[in-house]
Amino acid sequence: MSNTKDLLFELGCEELPTTTLKTLRDHLLNGICSGLDEANLSFGTTLAFATPRRLAVWIEGIETSQADELVEKRGPAVAAAYDKDGNPSKAALGFARGCGAEFDELETLKTDKGEWLSYKKLEKGQPSESLLPAIIEKSLSRLPIAKRMRWGSSNDAFVRPVHWVVLLFGSDVIESQFFGLNASNTSFGHRFHAPGKITISSAADYSRLLSNARVIASFEERKSLIEKQAIDAAQAVNGTAHIDPSLLDEIAALVEYPVAVTGGFDEHFLALPKEILITTMQINQKYFPVLNDNGTLLPFFITISNIKSSNPASVSHGNERVISPRLSDAEFFWQQDMKNTLAERIPTLDNVVFQHKLGSIGDKTRRVDKLSCELAALLGHDVELASRAAQLSKTDLVTDMVGEFASLQGVIGRYYASENGEPEEVAAAIQEQYLPKQSGGALPTTKTGQILALSDKLDTLVGIFSIGLLPTGDKDPFALRRAALGILRILIEHDIKFDLNELVRLSCQQFRHGFDADGTIEQVVSFVLDRLKGYCLANNFSPEQFAAVKSVNCTAPVDFMSRLHAVKAFSLLNEAASLSETNKRIQNLLKKAPNNIAEQFDAAILSKSQEVALYKKLQLVEGEISPLIEQNQYIDALKALSNLKEPIDEFFEHIFIMADDEAVKNTRLALLSKIHANFIKIADISLI
């Protein structure tokens, strides 16, 4: 007889939230697996399922019972186990009673620290089916549900009302209750195509039986099917489906049996910017737009139905009737917005609050304008372009279009600016100020866009930090982490050689409320450098290499990366490991030296050939690396410093540094201090 069985647990609910469906599925599986681990029950392959109406878990090969375990309990010390007459003490008798044993059944445990009374007992493992309901219940109680709801007269609460529960261990139902419902082997199929009961005989039959009942239980399988159907449907009208990954996930969470249906809309709507039409279709209707080979929008859409209709044309026509007024609304917003230019909307920004301690969006715009002008001047860029882009940067926020579709901020501003006859670079910058939108996303390509994006992100970072609203844990309502990473990427990947201290100080100067400017600068720079570490690790630099550069207080991201590349190249040299250890040794020696030790160097005191040779080599290397460092040629500078390895090794092998003669000792320490000072001009290589 097999000593393992498969577990199937299914929770049948009313329609679950689309945005958290996968999260609930994954947490349910992980919670049950953690419970099995805690119960010392081994198991095999795991599968999790999620549809709008169910969460399910299939775990193969769970042990049918826990293993027997020999448990040893330690009691009082033997010295305290008997009274003066040699009889068991109260402590010893109490220990035996607590173990459910007689005193004669106790044993002696010998350790390095003495002898103790002990009791060994073989505890029989519990059958798994008696443990599984509690393990599942615990996992359900820990699901990340923001707000649980109650239904009927019960006090049970869950994200949605629960209507059935399946709990099989092998082919047997485990008698248990969840949310007031008795667990069974009965599930239900598609709400319309197969609403009747389905008897599940085993976990292995689950997917097949549901598929027969028009339910694709696997989220990934359903998602792949939707994508394929959308692609095929678009090809049928000589187009390509525009499939947004987040929309694909959302639709997969909306249907149990996907069926693609193609519809169309009036071609006159194509006169609107395609982003407006795409956003309307995706956000309002959950449609996949259709593009041609050139990326131009076609007058078609793909909708995913949850039923296979006997009259698909009717489904298509119904969706066409719905999309037409939606597109008409968008057309109306466009026409209304075009009655005023973006420049005419600037005064209305004073009526929109950015943050109550930092003022309005108008206040923010004026700060960003001044900062943009300063950055443009430092970069030798057209100040007027930078200023105009900053002035108009937030004006699309008060348009009807962005009021309806917030995700179009920036995009709509670019179109409206172009329609208003603004310079193309200004129009582009209005959209580019929000880039990058996600990790690894596109960066601003225009110089004006780069300046505006930097200024806007700096203003938000400095402003929010200045009033003490630092992000904590997962809470980052102003997206400060994304802003910091965006600043870094723009500076590094566009080779803009600004120092973070300089940038943050310039931004601080634009604010007029009372705050600790120096403290804010320190906090913001530290926060941004923390994001730089993640950026560097993601780009295959080691934590040690990052620490080596960070230790020399380099706050210019482009320069930081140049040093980091040099450290990485240096770490591959044969001399690297030895020089790293040598620098650690030098640092330890210098800890015992006075702070002004470098000033106590006297070349005339050097008498041993090894110390004279090291000093001469150091002078040659210093002359070589100084111009290299000035030109940021750090790799060549570190390679030049590696030439000190041999004379340093000779020095340590033959020279007694801590000589009795104070002047000799200090000169030798000062020589080491000079060597160390040259290395930390680039990075602290003792850390790699």
Two structure tokens written together for 524: 């913001």
Determine the average pLDDT of the residues in 10-27. Answer: 96
Mean pLDDT calculated for residue range 61-65: 94
Check whether 399 has a pLDDT greater than 80.
yes
Averaged pLDDT for residues 24-35: 97
Over residues 618-649, the pLDDT tens digits come to: 899 888 888 998 888 898 888 888 888 888 88
- What are the b/e assignments for 292-312, b being 16+ CB within 10 Å? eeeeebbbbbbbbbbbeeeee
Cis peptide before 436 (omega within 30 of 0): yes
Q: For the purposes of burial, counting CB atoms within 10 Å of the CB of 47, is it exposed (0-12), middle (13-18) or buried (19 or more)?
A: middle
Please tell me which residue, 627 or 100, carries the higher pLDDT value.
627
pLDDT digits over 442-455, tens only? Answer: 999 999 999 999 99
The yes-or-no verdict on residue 473 having pLDDT over 90 is no
pLDDT tops 90 at residue 66: no
Which one-letter DSSP state was computed for residue 100? T
The pLDDT of 72-100, averaged and rounded, is 83
pLDDT level of residue 2 (50, 70, 90 thresholds): low
Q: What is the mean pLDDT of residues 671-681?
A: 85
Lowest mean pLDDT among 385-399, 448-462, 526-540, 660-674: 660-674
Residue 681 burial (10 A CB sphere; 0-12, 13-18, 19+): middle
What pLDDT score was predicted for residue 111?
A: 81
Residue 1 confidence (pLDDT): 42
For the stretch 274-326, pLDDT in tens is: 999 999 999 999 999 999 999 999 999 999 999 999 999 999 999 999 999 99
Q: Which domains does the chain have, with CATH numbers?
A: 4-66+127-212 (3.30.70), 69-123 (no CATH), 219-337 (no CATH), 343-539 (1.10.3210), 561-687 (1.10.730)
- For the range 173-177, what are the long-range contacts, defined as Cβ-Cβ under 8 Å and sequence gap of 24 or more? 174/129, 174/132, 174/133, 176/132, 176/133
Q: What is the largest CA-CA distance in the chain?
A: 108
| Range in 67-71, 356-360, 392-396 the model is least confident about | 67-71
Q: What is the pTM of this model?
A: 0.81
Res 71 pLDDT > 80: no
Residue linked to tokens 């020399």: 552
CB 252 within 8 A of CB 223: yes
Weakest-pLDDT range from 49-53, 67-71, 244-248, 454-458: 67-71
DSSP assignment of 502-527: HHHHHHHTT--S---HHHHHHHHHHH
User: How many other CB atoms are found less than 10 A from the CB of residue 621?
Assistant: 19
Angle ∠(417,423,426) on CA atoms, nearest 5: 65
Higher-confidence position of 639 and 507: 507
The one-character DSSP state at 643 is G
pLDDT tens, position by position, 524-561: 999 999 999 999 999 999 999 999 999 889 999 999 99
pLDDT at 665: 87
Q: What percent of the chain has pLDDT over 90?
A: 71
Contact call for residues 183 and 167 (beta carbons, < 8 A): yes
- State the pLDDT confidence band at 248, using cuts at 50, 70 and 90: very high
DSSP 414-449: HHHHHHTT--HHHHHHHHHTT---STT-----SHHH
For the chain, percent of residues with pLDDT exceeding 70: 100
Lowest pLDDT segment from 247-261, 343-357, 384-398, 673-687: 673-687
Specify the pLDDT at position 457. 98
Q: How far apart are CA 655 and CA 615, in angstroms?
A: 13
- pLDDT exceeds cutoff 90 at 94: no
Under a CB-based contact definition with an 8 Å cutoff, are residues 46 and 58 in contact?
yes
Q: What is the mean pLDDT of residues 223-246?
A: 97
Query: Hey, CA dihedral for 208, 214, 218, 222, is it positive or negative?
Result: positive
What's residue 30's pLDDT?
97
- pLDDT at 387 > cutoff 90: yes
466/458 Cα distance (integer angstroms): 12
Indicate the range of 92-106, 226-240, 404-418, 502-516 predicted with least confidence: 92-106
